[in-house]
Structure 1
Amino acid sequence: MTAQRTQLPDGRWHFQHGPIDIVIGANAAVGYENLLTAAHARAWTRFQSILTELVAELPLLRQAVAEVCPLQGVVAQRMWQACAPFAAHFITPMAAVAGAVAQELLPFYQVAGMQRAWINNGGDIALHLAPGQSVQVGLFADLGRLVSEQPLQLDGRFQVHADMRVRGIATSGWRGRSLSMGIADSVTVLARSAAQADAAATIIANAVNIENAAIERLPANQVRDDSDLGERLVTVHVPPLPVEQVHAALQHGLRRAEALWHAGHIEAAVLVCQGKCVTTELPARVPTPPRLARQFGALAMSR
Structure 2
Amino acid sequence: MSASRQRLSEGRWHFQHGPMDIVIGADPLGPADQRALAEAHEHAWARFVPLLSELMDEWALLRLPVQAGHPCPLQGGVARRMWQACLPWAAQQFITPMAAVAGSVAQELIRSYERPGVARAWVNNGGDIALHLTSCQSARVGLYADLARLQAHECMQGLSLDGAFEVTHTMPVRGVATSGWRGRSFSFGIADSVTVLAATAAQADAAASIIANAVNVEHAGIVRQSAQTLRDMTDLGDLAVTVDVPHLPVAWVQQALQSGLQCARECQAEGFISGAVLVCQGQSLTLPMSSGNASVFFQDEGLALA
Shorter-chain TM-score: which interval?
Answer: over 0.9
Shift of 1:152: 2.9
> SS of the residue aligned with 2:9?
coil
The AA in structure 2 aligned to 1:33 is Q
CA contact (8 A) 1:217 1:235 kept: yes
Q: Distance in 1 between matches of 2:301 and 2:85?
A: 30
What do you get for the CA RMSD once the two structures are aligned?
1.8
> Structure 2 matches for 1:22-37, cutoff 5 A?
22-30=22-30, 31-37=32-38
Residue 159 of structure 1 is matched in structure 2 by 166
User: Structure 1 residues 293 and 285 mapped into 2: Cα distance closer, same or farther (>3 Å)?
Assistant: same
Residue 54 of structure 1 is matched in structure 2 by 55
Q: Distance in 1 between matches of 2:183 and 2:221?
A: 20
Shift of 1:90: 0.8
> Structure 2 matches for 1:1-303, cutoff 5 A?
1-30=1-30, 31-66=32-67, 67-87=70-90, 88-142=92-146, 143-144=148-149, 147=153, 151-282=158-289, 284-291=292-299
Q: Distance in 2 between matches of 1:288 and 1:103?
A: 23
* TM-score, structure 2 as length reference: 0.93
Q: Which runs of 5+ in 1 are unaligned?
A: 296-303
CA contact (8 A) 1:160 1:285 kept: no
Shift of 1:68: 1.7
CA contact (8 A) 1:217 1:234 kept: yes
1:31-60 Cα deviation digits (max 9, x unpaired): 110000000001101100000000000010
Shift of 1:291: 3.8
> SS of the residue aligned with 2:276?
strand
CA contact (8 A) 1:185 1:294 kept: no
Shift of 1:292: 5.2
The AA in structure 2 aligned to 1:198 is D
CA contact (8 A) 1:277 1:292 kept: no
CA contact (8 A) 1:174 1:183 kept: yes
Q: Which structure is higher in RCO with an 8 Å CA cutoff and minimum separation 6?
A: 1
Shift of 1:136: 0.7
CA contact (8 A) 1:124 1:194 kept: yes
Q: Distance in 2 between matches of 1:127 and 1:51?
A: 21
The AA in structure 2 aligned to 1:190 is L
Shift of 1:9: 2.1
Residue 299 of structure 1 is matched in structure 2 by none
Q: Greater CA deviation, 180-189 or 223-232?
A: 223-232
Shift of 1:11: 1.2
Runs of 4+ with >4 A deviation:
148-151, 292-295
CA contact (8 A) 2:288 2:295 kept: no
Shift of 1:154: 1.2
CA contact (8 A) 1:169 1:188 kept: yes
Q: Distance in 1 between matches of 2:300 and 2:262?
A: 21
Q: Distance in 1 between matches of 2:203 and 2:86?
A: 7
CA contact (8 A) 1:141 1:293 kept: no
Q: Distance in 2 between matches of 1:69 and 1:294?
A: 45
> SS of the residue aligned with 2:26?
strand
Q: Distance in 1 between matches of 2:100 and 2:223?
A: 25
Shift of 1:150: 7.6
